[in-house]
Amino acid sequence: MGLFQANDVNAGVEEYQKTLQAKLIDVREEDEYAAGHIPASINIPLSSIEAAREEITDLDTPLFVYCRSGNRSGHAVTWLKQAGYSKVQNIGGIANYSGKTE
């Protein structure tokens, strides 16, 4: 994974776009995700982060994780690393994202 400032969501999305086989994960709740999310992201709410094991079976998949402000994504990154995922990055919060949302 590249060298960019943790919690810099714009740089994190750029790095995600350059990384083969990477997943962009939004850990906000479903209603927050539905209200607007970064294109190509998948929604795995922090409240059900265990579902990541079913959605992403390869523990070496590069994961770029965000939420609203960077707090929930930080908790999710800790859990994902403890679950055995080896390439996990907290890229911060969508509140600071300057790109288009869906």
Structural domains for the chain: 9-96 (3.40.250.10)
For residue 88, pLDDT over 70 is answered with yes
Encode pLDDT of 16-59 as tens digits: 999 999 999 999 999 999 999 999 999 999 999 999 999 999 99
CB 23 within 8 A of CB 65: no
- What are the structure tokens assigned to 97, written together? 């994202």
Instruction: Look at residues 97, 79, 96, 101 and name the one whose alpha carbon lies nearest to residue 88.
Output: 79
Q: pLDDT value at position 7?
A: 66
Q: pLDDT value at position 43?
A: 98
Is pTM beyond 0.85? Reply is yes
CB 92 within 8 A of CB 66: yes
